[in-house]
Structure 1
Amino acid sequence: MRNRSLITHLRHIDIAMPNFAEQRRFYTELWGLTETAGDTGVSFLAAKGSPEQYVVRLREDAHKRTDLIAFGAAGADDVDTLTTQLTSQGVQLVHEPKTLDTPGGGYAVRFFDNEGRVVEVSAEVSARRHRKVEAREPVPVRLSHVLMNSPTPKATVAWYITHLGFRLSDTMTLGDRGEIMWFLRCNTFHHSFGIVRGPHAAFHHASFEMRGIDEFMRGTGRMQRLGIERLWGPGRHRAGDNSFSYFLDRAGNTVEYTTELEILDEDTWHPHLFDLRDPTNADQWGTANEMDEFIAAKSHNDVDPGLFTAPPM
């Protein structure tokens, strides 16, 4: 059974870690996000060009984990409809739809995906007053997409298509190793979410959209001058046609600056298979350092200890 998509967009990614102060400083002073709310051991971080109340939530915890991935719906009725569908399909809820007490409020349901990640779908969240990011300003405009590692990737891709109505945009392959990366969309952006074949379930990377190529390159250069470990890039992907520069945050999560992510025509688009043995499928420009097993292993990340365990907030 495939549901009509009730998901409109990606809202935020919430992560926890022991080194909270370092992470907070990384995302605010170095990466370019703005703290809009917070309390002891928690910080809500917005992108300057986004109406979302926050695109990243940091939470101090004894263990590093992904707290949740949050998506938007058009209205409260859609949240209720989705909840009914999920319940009828045997999806385990974290909680029934209820009013949120996070910045901007709203109405949301939370549930576990097939591998135990917590997913939130919300509506009626108040928009944040934001501003246009100016030319040459190297700060994120919005959260672009989030990818997750999965040891059972085909089942996980099928779960998001079946239960949440995501559509497959493109798939990356690696010769006789087969399919290794799946890009999923919930609107006309090429992807807002994706799954990567990995040794265990874990956060793969979060990507932040910059104003344009100049701002993307300025942000990339700023991070390099600050001595932040660069994993891969700058380059330009084939799938999604977006630019990329990948770095590691202070907890070892991979984060990306990107821009110009492809916008698709839903009526004419057909998914492609791109083989990474052709280097132009990984980087059309040919400017990035070569992707190797060492770099890939960094984005495999640590085993997530929070699977099938709801975060405390």
Structure 2
Amino acid sequence: MIDRPLTHLRHVDLAVPDYDRQLDFYTGVWGLTTVAEDSGIAFLAAEGSPEQYVIRLRRAGDKRLDLVSYGAASPADVDALAERLIADGVRPISRPGTLDTPGGGYGFRFFDVDGRTIEVSADVAARRHRRIEERESIPVRLSHVVLNSPDLNRTRAWYERHLGFRLSDTLGHPRMGEVMHFMRISSQHHSMAIARGPHTSLHHVSFEMRGLDEYMRGSGRVIRAGFRKIWGPGRHLAGDNTFTYFLDPHGNTVEYTTELEELDEDTWHPHVYDFSEPEVTDQWGTANAMNEFVAKESFNDPDHGCFVAPPV
């Protein structure tokens, strides 16, 4: 059995009806680079990341989360994970094999407990990337993804059992109970979080910036371009990272962040933080107040792609 089959988050793939508008936003405003485009599919890289791409956009009639992709250490680990998942009754989409996407590699796809498509791959060629310079306010890399689930603890248990995620911290509320679990696959505080929502959907995708100045400059650029800021700037307690959240043209929440906490896994014990306390949601006190209207924005639209594999 592979206790820790995953190494890192690779990319998040989105299907969008207004493809051209989304592509303009992610490249012209958000700061990603188009590395390949063909027949309504664009692969977008972060300049500081060795990943071939961190966002894939696909032209489609309906908005959906196409898939979330993670890395594995070797093809042997990919094969072992596929065998274990099938034996445990996880629904496969494809068998391990060669990937026909930028960088190639060896991987497979399957559905998670909520019906999202997950991809795991190894041996993807590293992209030639570069150091992000001072005051260059574009993403260095993909930081993390947060997923909405109507059954928070069922989803958490599935990811712990099948993919080796570990709990870092939990957000709770005196009346609402547990509302978010921060999950890790490395010493990074979280590569994924699971939020309690009314339906299965994408909560947000987060991008790491070079530093505080670049984070603020990037946030200012998005505001000046006329895109809606939901929440921020501020600094969370869980993860100790900065945050500013925006809506992309199709209503997906995207975040600029920096300084996400690195844990000492030998000594770390998960906390349960009361997010009704203002200093939990924002240590600085600079963000607009977290309330039901802010939270509702990140519920997103119900994902109609559940248990339906993307066509590519």
What TM-score, normalized to structure 1?
0.99
In structure 2, the residue matched to 1:277 is 276
Q: d(CA) in 2 for partners of 1:178 and 1:4?
A: 29
Letter in 1 for 2:236: H
Q: Secondary structure at the match of 2:95?
A: strand
Cα contact 1:3–1:162 (8 A) shared by 2:
no
Q: 5 Å matches for 1:154-173?
A: 154-173=153-172
Q: d(CA) in 2 for partners of 1:141 and 1:120?
A: 22
Q: 5 Å matches for 1:72-91?
A: 72-91=71-90
Structure 1 residue runs of 5 or longer lacking an equivalent are none
In structure 1, the residue matched to 2:197 is 198
Cα contact 2:41–2:59 (8 A) shared by 1:
yes
In structure 1, the residue matched to 2:220 is 221
Residue by residue over 1:243-270, the C-alpha shift from the partner in whole angstroms, topping out at 9 and shown as x without a partner, is: 0000000110000000000001110111
Q: d(CA) in 2 for partners of 1:180 and 1:154?
A: 10
Residue by residue over 1:155-196, the C-alpha shift from the partner in whole angstroms, topping out at 9 and shown as x without a partner, is: 000000000000000000111210000000011100001100
Cα contact 1:143–1:207 (8 A) shared by 2:
yes
Q: d(CA) in 1 for partners of 2:83 and 2:100?
A: 23
In structure 2, the residue matched to 1:150 is 149
Q: 5 Å matches for 1:35-114?
A: 35-114=34-113
Cα contact 1:71–1:122 (8 A) shared by 2:
yes
Letter in 2 for 1:165: G
In structure 1, the residue matched to 2:297 is 298
Q: d(CA) in 2 for partners of 1:104 and 1:310?
A: 22
Q: d(CA) in 1 for partners of 2:288 and 2:299?
A: 18
Letter in 1 for 2:32: L
In structure 2, the residue matched to 1:212 is 211
Q: d(CA) in 2 for partners of 1:14 and 1:261?
A: 23
Letter in 2 for 1:146: V
Q: d(CA) in 2 for partners of 1:52 and 1:165?
A: 22
2:121 paired with 1:122: yes
Task: Give RMSD over aligned pairs.
Answer: 0.8
Q: d(CA) in 2 for partners of 1:67 and 1:199?
A: 20
Q: Secondary structure at the match of 2:183?
A: strand
Q: Secondary structure at the match of 2:67?
A: strand
In structure 1, the residue matched to 2:21 is 22
Structure 2 residue runs of 5 or longer lacking an equivalent are none
Q: Give the Å deviation of 1:119.
A: 0.3
Q: 5 Å matches for 1:239-278?
A: 239-278=238-277
Aligned length: 312
Q: Secondary structure at the match of 1:300?
A: coil
Q: d(CA) in 2 for partners of 1:174 and 1:60?
A: 39
In structure 2, the residue matched to 1:9 is 8
Letter in 2 for 1:108: G
Residue by residue over 1:40-59, the C-alpha shift from the partner in whole angstroms, topping out at 9 and shown as x without a partner, is: 21100000000000000000
Q: d(CA) in 2 for partners of 1:3 and 1:248?
A: 37
Q: Secondary structure at the match of 1:120?
A: strand
In structure 1, the residue matched to 2:184 is 185
Q: Percent identity?
A: 60
Q: d(CA) in 2 for partners of 1:130 and 1:300?
A: 34
Q: Give the Å deviation of 1:123.
A: 0.2
Q: d(CA) in 2 for partners of 1:154 and 1:6?
A: 21
Letter in 2 for 1:302: D
Cα contact 2:146–2:202 (8 A) shared by 1:
yes
In structure 1, the residue matched to 2:138 is 139
In structure 2, the residue matched to 1:231 is 230
Residue by residue over 1:267-286, the C-alpha shift from the partner in whole angstroms, topping out at 9 and shown as x without a partner, is: 01110000011100000000
Q: Secondary structure at the match of 1:93?
A: coil
What TM-score, normalized to structure 2?
0.99
Cα contact 2:2–2:80 (8 A) shared by 1:
no
Letter in 2 for 1:154: N
Q: Give the Å deviation of 1:228.
A: 1.0
Cα contact 1:3–1:163 (8 A) shared by 2:
no
Residue by residue over 1:1-43, the C-alpha shift from the partner in whole angstroms, topping out at 9 and shown as x without a partner, is: x950110000000000100000000000000000000112110
Q: d(CA) in 2 for partners of 1:251 and 1:226?
A: 16
Q: d(CA) in 2 for partners of 1:218 and 1:111?
A: 39
